């Protein structure tokens, strides 16, 4: 198929909800490590990794070799038969979870299913129904996961499911309480208690949150936030579910999981995306007594599939063997310092935030009003494309650039990225500047 045929066939045969970045869709033909190539043979530096999913580089040879071997040996049996790759992955995961306390896994195929499973397990364990989630969150595309999500644009299909209430997010750049950290005393966290008392039955099944809100635009709470929230959730009998679909597997630097930066022990942890490096894996891992409460008939035909389980374990081993958590911290700090420099140069950048190799720029019309700049964000995406750089977009207001390269990039890759992003920012800033004032005739 030619590039044009692919674009036309997408329009004709796919739901239009399968939307593409860019005015003219970018057709990707192949990829290797931190690069992808389009249908015209142009090479791009990929600093988005297929939506925070390429954790160890595109078409990673070590991972793919193991996958290929497994494909030739056993591709599928379903979970009604035992197989080694599934339990080998479960054992590996059990050894890495926060505090070593989450030791039983249920595998599915996506982050959405992982969160469905987590909420189901929490309801079975507690006998309670209600779930508290956060504003600006995203937890998936099923009816239940959309109801958990705190962004109107991602809640399709009319009435949300009952039983979800949304608490304040620690969106410091746009503080919902108009306060400033740290003099605010993290009131967005303490407010949760009144919210539960006034807006729920007072009996919680769970609280679910992303340690850093992904689609919300990498909203990164202050260090005390989750500890305060955790204490309140426990008072009302709820389980703490950490949605690590984006923040897991070293992405945030120095730790396996984002929640570990906050010193909080989750009861259930969910993940997907970077765990499979492109193969579809969803993980729900819980304290054993919680896992044991999910009794009765529930099945995921492809969950723990020998091939995807092999891929996921190979990804974890690769991250561990190559100390990529450390690289994410070090190269992430290097990236961050450059982003801060870009902010000093470009008034359009209102905020820089994130952890490790999960960094974001929030773009604004001007720094005083903080008016979101979604058009400029779209223009920056297009300019980056021209400069052969892939970055992500997000944020409740469509004005956040998301930067999540593979975890095994080097500082030279960051230098290359900064050149391309810097040039793209210059282009956008130039077109936005008012025409220079013409000197008055004397």
215 contacts ligand PMP (rule: CB under 6 A): yes
Judged by beta carbon, residue 214 or residue 306, the one nearer ligand PMP is: 214
214 binds ligand PMP (CB under 6 A): yes
**Residue 247: CB minimum distance to ligand PMP, A:** 8
Contact region for ligand PMP (CB under 6 A) — 12-20, 136-144, 181-189, 314-322?
Answer: 136-144
Residue 181 DSSP symbol = T
Kindly state whether residue 210 participates in binding ligand PMP, applying the rule CB under 6 A. Answer: yes
How far is it, in rounded angstroms, from Cα 398 to Cα 383? 16
Torsion of CA 305, 139, 17, 279, to 10 degrees: -20
Count the residues of the shown chain that bind ligand PMP, applying the rule CB under 6 A. Answer: 15
The binder of ligand PMP chosen from 131, 269, 272, 314 (CB under 6 A): 272
* Shortest separation between residue 54's beta carbon and ligand PMP, angstroms: 14
Task: State yes or no: residue 144 binds ligand PMP (CB under 6 A).
Answer: no
Residue placing its CB nearer to ligand PMP in the complex, 215 or 383: 215
Taking CB under 6 A as the rule, does residue 140 contact ligand PMP? yes
Helices and strands in the chain: count of H runs, count of E runs:
13, 15
For position 269 contacting ligand PMP by CB under 6 A, the verdict is no
Cβ atoms of residues 295 and 124 within 8 Å: yes
From candidates 245, 291, 309, 312, binder to ligand PMP by CB under 6 A: 245
CB 212, CB 246: distance < 8 Å: yes
Q: CB neighbours of 2 closer than 8 A, spacing ≥ 6?
A: 39
Nearest-approach distance from CB 358 to ligand PMP, in angstroms = 11
Q: Does 246 bind ligand PMP (CB under 6 A)?
A: yes
Identify the three-state secondary structure at position 15.
coil
Determine if 304 is a binding residue for ligand PMP (CB under 6 A): no
- Alpha-carbon torsion (426, 427, 433, 436), positive or negative: positive
Is residue 110 involved in binding ligand PMP (CB under 6 A)? Answer: yes
Secondary structure of 200-254 in HEC code, one letter for each residue: CCCCEEEEEECCCECCCCCECCCCCHHHHHHHHHHHCCCEEEEECCCCCCCCCCC
> What is the helix (H) or strand (E) element at residue 429, kind and residue range?
helix 411-432
Rule CB under 6 A: which residues touch ligand PMP?
110-112, 115, 138-141, 210, 214-215, 243, 245-246, 272
């Amino acid at each position: 198929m030619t590039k044009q045929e692919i674009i036309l066939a997408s329009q004709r045969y796919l739901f239009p909800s399968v939307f593409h970045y860019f005015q003219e869709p970018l057709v990707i033909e192949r990829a290797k490590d931190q690069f992808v190539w389009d249908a015209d043979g142009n090479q791009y530096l990929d600093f988005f990794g297929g939506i925070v999913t390429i954790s160890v580089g595109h078409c990673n040879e070590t991972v793919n070799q193991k996958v290929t071997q497994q494909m030739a040996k056993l591709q599928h049996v379903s979970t009604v038969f035992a197989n080694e790759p599934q339990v080998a992955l479960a054992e590996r995961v059990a050894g890495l979870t926060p505090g070593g306390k989450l030791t039983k896994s249920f595998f599915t195929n996506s982050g959405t299913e992982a969160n469905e499973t987590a909420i189901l397990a929490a309801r079975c364990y507690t006998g309670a129904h209600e779930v508290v989630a956060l504003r600006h969150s995203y937890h998936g595309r099923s009816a239940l996961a959309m109801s958990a999500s705190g962004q109107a644009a991602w809640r399709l299909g009319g009435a949300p499911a009952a039983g979800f209430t949304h608490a304040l997010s620690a969106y410091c750049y746009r503080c919902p309480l108009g306060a400033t950290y740290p003099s605010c005393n993290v009131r967005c966290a303490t407010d949760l208690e009144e919210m539960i008392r006034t807006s729920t039955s007072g009996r919680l099944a769970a609280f679910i949150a992303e340690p850093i809100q992904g689609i919300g635009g990498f909203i990164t709470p202050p260090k005390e936030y989750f500890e305060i929230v955790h204490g309140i959730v426990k008072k009302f009998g709820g389980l703490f579910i950490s949605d690590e679909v984006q923040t897991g597997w070293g992405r945030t630097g120095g730790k396996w999981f984002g929640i570990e930066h906050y010193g909080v022990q989750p009861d259930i942890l969910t993940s997907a995306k970077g765990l499979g490096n492109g193969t579809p894996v969803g993980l729900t891992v819980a304290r054993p007594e919680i896992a044991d409460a999910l009794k009765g008939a529930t099945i995921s035909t492809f969950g723990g599939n020998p091939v995807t389980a092999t891929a996921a374990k190979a990804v974890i081993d690769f991250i561990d063997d190559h100390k990529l958590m450390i690289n994410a911290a070090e190269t992430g700090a290097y990236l961050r310092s450059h982003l801060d420099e870009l902010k000093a140069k470009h008034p359009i950048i209102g905020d820089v935030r994130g952890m490790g190799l999960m960094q974001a720029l929030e773009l604004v019309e001007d720094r005083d009003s903080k008016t979101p700049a979604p058009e400029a964000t779209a223009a920056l995406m297009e300019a980056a494309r021209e400069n052969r750089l892939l970055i992500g977009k997000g944020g409740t207001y469509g004005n956040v650039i998301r930067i999540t390269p593979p975890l095994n990039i080097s500082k030279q890759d960051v230098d290359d990225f900064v050149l391309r992003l810097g040039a793209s920012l210059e282009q956008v800033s130039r077109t936005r500047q008012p025409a220079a004032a013409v000197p008055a005739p004397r």
